[in-house]
Amino acid sequence: MKLSAKTKEFIKKIIIEYNRTACLRSCNFEEYLSEIEASNLVSVSVITPSEQVKVKITAKASNKEHCIGHLFNSLAQKDLQYKFSLGLIEDHNFNCYPYELKPYLDDFFFELIQNNTANIDFCSSFIKKEKLDKVIKNKEVGILLDDTIKKIENDLLSTHIFQFPFVTPGLKSDIQLSKNIAIKVLNSSSLDDNYEDKINYDKKPVYNAAIEIQFNTSSSLRFSERLAKEVSRLTSQIINIYAQIIYEGRDISSWPCSLPDNKGRGNPSLYSHIRAGESEGSPSAKDRNHNEFRNDGFWSEFLIRIEEGREEFDIIMKVPELRLIPSDHKRVGDLLFDALIWYGNAYSEVNPEMKSSRSIIAIGCLVNFEKNETGSLETFVSRVKALTALNQSWIGDVDKQCQDIYNARTSISQGLKVSNSLALSSTIFAMKTLHLSFERLDKFGFDKNSFKKTLPEYLDLVHEKHFGSGKLI
């Protein structure tokens, strides 16, 4: 591997810092200890090599070669190695966190220093420039770093499958929601007529279904776990929206399944990592969901609904699928993710003021594009109309509903109460706005990431053409 100038500079600086710390510890231990204590590094001040590198060091020691048994941390070294990790992640498109590269880079520097003890002996606090340049210019550095990169790719990065369990009656078979997202039956025997009596009697957490997420982009477990959890939450809210559509006009606050993001009902932190056969453990009895009413027909209704509107559902599922593709930039689809999370918070909230506030924020995620932008009521109404123009008859009087939630926001800011009926209607309005926004934003492009100017222009144009001339683009 040919080293870039930036990589060479980082390696030099880290070696110099390791050398400085080792010499300080050897010559003035009290000063070294004071520095470590001030940096809160006492418990992690000593870095030891992995077993694989220890074998190489032991072999050198048996040949009576000078060996480095430990390296010593410092705040400067940690900062430099963190920045070095960021550079490697960017250069090699690693889907992981900087801290996850630490053991690999620790071994890299152990081997590099151990192989160059003639030039780096940790006996002098100052390393001569020519000696350091000799180390860096050696082809061995590139080979060693290349081996480290391969270790990261082989040991740390992989594809993963996660399952997020929940409880539901009436689910008869698996449902493939999209290419990489499915609902799986985990325990079909727990769906019999005595299901609730059985879990009450056994006092054991029994989950009979799961949202299964396949993460096919090579990544670290922790990195893919975070995105998979987000996709599980997103999928839960999409199903939640369909439940509200199916049961429109009814109180579904005790909705008939414990999807992973239903606060107080499921356990969103519990998941199974299928590839490694690992589990984070079982939830306690108090975390278990007990359905407040049975509706065995929900999943059959859900299947009928998505089959009748397959094209619409496929568009909606593009957003959680997009979330499975790592990106350093915010995309249009991510606006819907933010909106759905706020909607989910509003849906599960019992306080009318909080319910209304979160519903307003959910809609605001789709119509406010600058930081801290609140916008005028006119702009708010215009953009909501543009997002929902494909089905105005279903959403109803947008002007009135926007005015109502704006009035609610004013009342809340003044410390006034909001009625339960207004809080509920604001949540339903948010749900309908979000549901219709998928198709409109898909026309613009879910994967676009430079949209702060173009998306509001697009929505303004939709509003002008649809409500000005009656022609929908």
- Dump pLDDT digits (tens) for 327-348: 989 999 999 999 999 998 888 8
What's the gap between Cα 402 and its chain centre? 31
Q: The sheet that has 158-166: what strands, in order across it?
A: 175-176, 181-185, 209-219, 158-166, 272-273, 278-279
Q: Residue 380 above 50 pLDDT?
A: yes
Evaluate whether 160 touches 221 at the Cβ level (below 8 Å): yes
Residues linked to residue 215 through DSSP beta bridges, in sequence order: 160
Task: Provide the pLDDT for residue 288.
Answer: 33
Q: Is 141 exposed, middle or buried (0-12, 13-18, 19+ CB in 10 A)?
A: buried
- Dump pLDDT digits (tens) for 237-282: 999 888 888 877 555 554 545 666 554 333 444 556 554 333 333 3
Calculate the dihedral angle through the C-alpha atoms of 374, 378, 382, 387, rounding to the nearest 10 degrees.
Answer: 30
What's the gap between Cα 222 and its chain centre? 10
Task: Provide the pLDDT for residue 281.
Answer: 37
Which position has the token pair 């027909």? 297
Per domain, the residue ranges of the chain are 5-156, 158-308, 327-473
Q: What are phi and psi of 422, to 5 degrees?
A: -70, -40
What is the C-alpha separation between 79 and 223, in angstroms, rounded? 21
Q: 26-50: string of b/e by CB count within 10 Å (b at 16+)?
A: eeeeeebeebbeeeebeeebebebe
Banded model confidence at residue 228, pLDDT cuts 50, 70, 90: very high
User: What percentage of the chain exceeds 70 in pLDDT?
Assistant: 80
For residue 45, which amino acid is it? S
**Mean of the per-residue pLDDT values for the chain?**
81
Q: Residue 47 above 50 pLDDT?
A: yes
Locate 442 and state its tokens.
Answer: 């898909």
* Average pLDDT of the segment spanning 457-463: 91
Task: Provide the pLDDT for residue 472.
Answer: 45
pTM over 0.85: no
What is the C-alpha separation between 434 and 438, in angstroms, rounded? 7
Banded model confidence at residue 64, pLDDT cuts 50, 70, 90: low
- Dump pLDDT digits (tens) for 298-313: 888 899 999 999 999 9
Residue 396 or residue 277, greater confidence: 396
* Average pLDDT of the segment spanning 69-86: 91
The 8 Å CB, 24+ separation contacts for 388-392 are 388/432, 388/433, 388/436, 388/437, 388/440, 389/440, 389/462, 389/463, 389/466, 389/467, 389/472, 390/436, 390/439, 390/440, 390/472, 391/436
Banded model confidence at residue 52, pLDDT cuts 50, 70, 90: confident
Task: Provide the pLDDT for residue 374.
Answer: 54
User: What percentage of the chain exceeds 90 in pLDDT?
Assistant: 36
Locate 212 and state its tokens.
Answer: 């299964």
Going by the DSSP 8-state scheme, the letter that residue 154 receives in this structure is I
Task: Provide the pLDDT for residue 397.
Answer: 87
Banded model confidence at residue 76, pLDDT cuts 50, 70, 90: very high
Task: Provide the pLDDT for residue 139.
Answer: 87
Banded model confidence at residue 426, pLDDT cuts 50, 70, 90: confident
- Dump pLDDT digits (tens) for 149-198: 999 999 999 999 998 888 777 788 899 999 999 999 886 654 454 545 54
* Average pLDDT of the segment spanning 108-135: 81
Going by the DSSP 8-state scheme, the letter that residue 155 receives in this structure is I
Locate 47 and state its tokens.
Answer: 């870095």
Evaluate whether 266 touches 359 at the Cβ level (below 8 Å): no
87-96, 108-117, 245-254, 381-390: least confident range = 245-254
